[in-house]
Structure 1
């Protein structure tokens, strides 16, 4: 898959992740507060994104690597670790938005702004650190 198409698919998966992130955030904020709920919602959305990206965005790179549960878990935790830079940026932007805004939708705006901020960092981490084989298999443009 070309890098451009891969980025578009990654963005579409990220949009689904945003919906999951926001739903879990609002469902758990009363119990965990806005900051704790955001940590849980981020991990939940990242797990969903890992699964979807594995099947759709980076299919050729993922398919040959996964033969057992231990390898699957290794890939999952590698994915979480590689998303660390994007996660920190995402959470920092989220926290800044909800700290500076009194708007009732500030948490949702924070998730959106944080997601956009982390998108590029996460794409390049996934493409060039985690799924290097897909880079090799991409046809020249």
Structure 2
């Protein structure tokens, strides 16, 4: 059994709790996006401000998340051309960006702890944007 089959089985088990399978997959992809997001911030942090690093990392994470959501989360949906769908995904997630990066930027501005450990702000921002990103992605990008 390949890893995706195991992951799909896990999604099926969690779905029994009442969550939709696409939301669970979107959340798993979002968790991976958190890794890309945090990794990019820490990679860029020595060279640019946290605000620039946070903006760049959002674009990196959103692009990787779009690819995985296209190939796995919404794999049974007929897709638009890749460049069109990517642009829609970025546009739809702009609202999530406001909540995600807004939370991150506020915490950077007001919390010395977050400045020292940006991963805290990244996690808080990711949680703030998750629901908005899912609903808009499901309806306007992959729906």
TM bracket (short chain): 0.7 to 0.9
1:65 shift after superposition: 2.8
TM-score (norm 1): 0.84
1:60 shift after superposition: 1.3
1:4 shift after superposition: 1.1
Matches within 5 A, 1:53-92: 53-61=69-77, 64-66=78-80, 71-92=81-102
Q: Which 4+ residue blocks in structure 1 deviate beyond 3 angstroms?
A: none
Unaligned runs of 5+ in 2: 1-11
Partner of 2:55: 39
Matches within 5 A, 1:1-141: 4-61=20-77, 64-66=78-80, 71-103=81-113, 104-105=116-117, 107-132=118-143
1:91 shift after superposition: 0.8
Partners of 2:54 and 2:103 in 1: CA distance? 12
Unaligned runs of 5+ in 1: 133-141
1:73 shift after superposition: 0.6
TM-score (norm 2): 0.82
1:59 shift after superposition: 0.8
Partners of 1:65 and 1:26 in 2: CA distance? 33
Which structure would you say has the larger RCO, counting Cα contacts within 8 Å and 6 or more residues apart?
1
**RMSD, aligned CA:** 1.5
